[in-house]
Amino acid sequence: MTTNTLLLLLVLVGALTYLYRYAMIGLFASRSLPGWLHALCRHIAPASFAALTASGLFVAGGEVVFALDTPRPWAALVAVLVAWRTRNVLATIGAGMAALYLFKLLF
Amino acid sequence: MRDKPRLAEFLAGCRDESPLLLGVAPFGMIYGIAALAAGVPAWLAQLASAIVFAGAAQLVIVQMLAAGAGFVPIALTSGLLNLRHVLYSASMAEYVRHLPRRWRLLLAYVLTDEAYAVAVLRYQRRETATADLRHWYFLGAGFTLWAGWQLSTAAGLLFGATIPPEWELDFAVPLTFIALLTLLLRERAGQAAALVAGLGALAFAALPYKLGLVAAILLGLAAGAWTVRRLERAR
């Protein structure tokens, strides 16, 4: 992607995000949020993060690759366990990076 | 004289928002580092923090850029992810509806998860002054978060330019997604949405420009909605 295209993309996403933020306090200030939109919003974040995580770990060049002989999937597994046990974002990132460096030495 | 209570509200907003910067700053830095690793020019990465000003979406954009995604999939994914800001907008509406339009236009720009969290507490407390000046508090909280986000982005860009790629600090982005995902998976419908979206991302991996991600997320949303309906029927 060229720099100009990326700038256009960022302006587009920024404008859209601003519209979302202004929507209910400006554009539709006298209306309440429809129930379906409320329900939809709750599932967007889990669906997005799950798709991006799965794709980031196991998709390379348009193909599904379970590269279990490389450190990243195992470091991610450590991160999942730490996230599940501690429910702490920074501890998860720290443990995942530490596991990555450790597994890089071992593999 | 007239401006003193306003300044006091603004500064109180700044003060109450500042502890949250400790939690926000690492993400600003991770974003800056990952943006450089994805080949985004530093000036544009910094500008993005001002025009998008939404951490999760900015991380998604750089992660997808690094994976070679195209314009449309990135726009759709980040546009969808940011939709939750409509919820914050709706929650703040009752408190700011009476303000002049220029105030609402300004407050909309600083309406983020973290500013919302602080400002809504102030709005739920009883006001002390005779005139309602709580929008100055909201502005102070929003401004503080904005400044912290810009500075931590700059710090990430400076730091990211000096560290070698062998450190693989870009891996902090998927780790962030794993951490946030784990926090979000409290209810059945959300779990179904995440599971289906995750499997979908693998099933549609071959689609060009990473459009498979968009398809996977939409399928996940459908699974979430279907689970909600099924649970309601079972009750």
Q: What domain range is A81 assigned to?
A: 67-107
pLDDT at B208: 87
Residue A76 lies in a domain: yes
In 3D space, the residue among B9, B24, B7 whose CA is nearest the CA of residue B145 turns out to be B24
Contacts of B64 in chain A (CB under 8 A): 52
Looking at the domain assignment, is residue A47 inside a domain? no
Q: Are residues B152 and B206 in the same domain?
A: no
- Same domain as B138, residue B70: yes
pLDDT at B2: 60
In A33-52, the residues whose Cβ lies within 8 Å of chain B are 33, 37-52
Q: Is A22 at the interface with chain B, CB within 8 A?
A: yes
- Let me know if residue B102 belongs to a domain: yes
Structural domain total, chain B: 2
Provide the pLDDT for residue B157.
Answer: 96
Distance (Å, rounded) from C-alpha B139 to C-alpha B119? 9
Has residue B174 been placed in a domain? no
- Domain membership of residue A38 (yes or no) is no
Q: Do A13 and B53 touch (CB under 8 A)?
A: no
Residue B96 lies in a domain: yes
Residue B209's domain comprises 185-234
Residue B153 lies in a domain: yes
Q: What is the mean pLDDT of residues A49-69?
A: 91
ipTM: 0.90
Residue A31 included in any domain: no
Q: Across the interface, which of B52, B180, B195 has its CB nearest the CB of A17? A: B52
Question: For residue B38, is it within any domain?
Answer: yes
Exposure of B234 by Cβ count < 10 A (0-12 exposed, 13-18 middle, 19+ buried)? Answer: exposed
Same domain membership, residue B136 and residue B49: yes
Question: Considering the domain boundaries, does residue A96 fall inside one?
Answer: yes
Can you give the length of chain A in residues? 107
Alpha-carbon gap, residue B142 to B211, rounded angstroms: 34
Mean pLDDT of the region A7-23: 97
Same domain membership, residue B112 and residue B37: yes
Residue A61 resides in a domain: no
Q: Are residues B9 and B63 in the same domain?
A: yes
Whether residue B66 sits in one domain with residue B124? yes
Distance from CA of B15 to the nearest CA of A (A): 23
> Which of A4, A27, A31, A53 to mutate to probe the B interface, most B CBs <10 Å?
A53
* Residue in B107, B108, B217 closest to A47 by CB: B217
Show pLDDT as tens, one digit a residue, over chain B (235 residues): 467 889 999 999 999 999 889 888 999 999 999 999 999 999 999 999 999 999 999 999 999 999 999 999 999 999 999 998 998 899 889 899 999 999 999 999 999 988 988 998 888 887 665 678 999 999 999 999 999 999 999 999 999 889 888 889 889 989 999 998 998 888 899 999 999 999 999 999 999 888 999 999 999 999 999 999 999 898 7
Residue A46 lies in a domain: no
CA R_g for chain B: 20
Supply the DSSP string of A74-103, one letter for each residue: HHHHHHHHHHHHH--HHHHHHHHHHHHHHH
CB contact under 8 A, B184 and A45: yes
Taking CB atoms and an 8 Å limit, are A84 and B177 in contact across chains?
no
Mean of per-residue pLDDT scores for chain A: 92
What pLDDT, on a 0 to 100 scale, did the predictor assign at position B123? Answer: 87
Flag whether residue A2 sits within 8 Å of chain B, measured between CB atoms: no
pLDDT the model gives residue A29: 81
- For the segment B212-226, what is each residue's pLDDT rounded down to a tens digit? 999 999 999 999 999
Q: Does residue B70 share a domain with residue B121? A: yes
Q: Is residue B179 part of a domain?
A: no
Q: Would the CB atoms of A58 and B57 count as touching at under 8 Å?
A: no
Query: Is A77 at the interface with chain B, CB within 8 A?
Result: no
pLDDT digits over A74-95, tens only? 999 999 999 999 999 899 999 9
Number of structural domains found in chain A: 1
Domain contains B162: yes
Tokens of B7: 């300044």
Using a CB-CB distance cutoff of 8 angstroms, which residues of chain B are in contact with residue A38?
A: 87
pLDDT digits (tens, 9 = 90+) for A21-41: 999 999 888 888 888 888 888
Give the A:B interface size as CB pairs under 8 Å: 262
Residue among A48, A78, A102 with most chain B CBs within 10 A, to mutate: A48
- State the best of B182, B183, B210 to mutate against chain A, taking most chain A CBs within 10 Å: B182
Q: Does A58 touch chain B (CB under 8 A)?
A: yes
Domain boundary among B121, B137, B167: B167
SS3 (DSSP) at B68: coil
Tell the residue number behind the tokens 């502890």, with chain if given. Answer: B19
Q: Classify residue A105: in a domain, yes or no.
A: yes
Structural domain contains residue B35: yes
